Structure 1
C-alpha cells in the first residue's frame, strides 16, 4: 500500500455493492480494505486502523448499527469517521444512525458520485494534507499542494519522508504517534522498515525545523513515541 494513500474500510455483505464501492474508491485514490460481516469489519479496524469506514446497516451477525456503536465507544476508534449506508429512509432510522455515532448517513439506492463527495468531505476533516490544504501550527506553515514548508517566514528544505512526517504531526497536533503507527502512515504497510529508521528521520526533521532558530516543536514521549506540541 502506498504510504500517501488514505485508507477506507468498506463493510458491505452484498458482493456486487462491495466491489462497486471499492472500485470507485480506488479510482479516487484510496486504498481499500473489504469486509462482508460486522465481526470481520471490527477485526480489520483493529488490524488496519483505516482513515474512514463505509458501513452497511444490514449485516449478517453483528449489525452495522452495533459495529458503529462499539467503535464509537472505544477511545482508540471513536474518531474514525463512519458513513452509514442503509435502505431505511425513515427519519427515525436516520436519527438513530446518527445518534449511534455515524458521521454521515446515506440512503440506498445512492449516487456513487455523491457518496464519493461525502467520503472526500470526511477525509478533508481528518487528513487535510491529502487534499492539498494548508496546515498551520504556531509559526510553521505546510502547503500540501505546493509541497513547501515555511517557519517564521523561512523556507525549510525537507525530504519527501520528512515532509510526510511533518504533515502527519500537523494534522493531529498533540497526538502521540508510536513508531509503528508512523511507519504505517508515512512508509506504508507494504514496506518493511526498521523502527529505528523513524528515529533517524525524526532527527532530520528536527534539524530542519530548528535550522533558522526557534525551539524544537517535536516532543519525545518516553516509551510511547513522538508528538507535535
Structure 2
C-alpha cells in the first residue's frame, strides 16, 4: 500500500520541489498552503507523514502539529521545517514536538531519507 505525505508549505516553489521529489519516490501526496487547509486534509486523509513549514499564513506549524497528534487511528509522523533554527529548537522542547526536523535550505534527498525512516519503508 502506498504511503501518503501531506506537504504544508506556503511558498509554491518550495512546495513544488518537495512534492515532485516525494511523488517520484512513489508516495501519494496531499498539499496545503496554510494552516486551515492542512488541518482539513489531516482530518480527511489521515496521511502517514506531515511535512510542515513552521511559518505559515493564518497560524504556525505548531497548530498543524497539534492537530496531527489528535487524529485517531494510526499515528502520523511529523517533520517540522524552518529556516529559523530557534523555531526548530523551541519545537524540540514543546508539548507537541515533531518526530524529525529539517532546516531550510535542504536537498530533497534529505527529505526523502527522513520520510523513509519515519514510515519504515524504502519505496
Larger RCO (alpha carbons 8 Å, 6+ apart): 2
Q: Does 1:45 align with 2:39?
A: no
Kept in 1, the 8 Å contact 2:8–2:15? The answer is: yes
Q: Is the 8 Å Cα contact of residues 81 and 88 (structure 2) preserved in structure 1?
A: no
Residue 88 (structure 2) pairs with residue 94 (structure 1): yes
Residue aligning to 2:11: 14
Say whether the 8 Å CA contact 2:42–2:67 is kept in structure 1. no
2:28 is the counterpart of 1:34: no
RMSD: 1.8
2:114 match: 118
Q: Deviations over 1:77-125 (max 9, x none)?
A: 78200001101123xx32322333210111111121111101110010x
Q: Name 2:80's counterpart in structure 1.
A: 84
Higher-Rg member (1/2): 1
Label 1:70 to 1:49 Cα distance change in 2 as closer, same or farther (>3 A): closer
Return the offset for 1:66.
1.9
Shift of the 115–52 alpha-carbon distance from structure 1 to 2, 3 Å rule, reads same
Give me the TM-score of the superposition, normalised by structure 1: 0.50
What is residue 105 of structure 1 aligned with on the other side? 101
Q: Which moves more between the two structures, 11-20 or 60-69?
A: 60-69
* Structure 2: gaps spanning 5 or more residues: none
The runs of 5 or more residues in structure 1 that have no matched partner are: 125-129, 133-229
Structure 1 runs (4+) deviating above 4 angstroms are: none
How high is the TM-score relative to the length of structure 2? 0.89
- Cα 1:77/1:97, change in 2 over 3 Å: farther
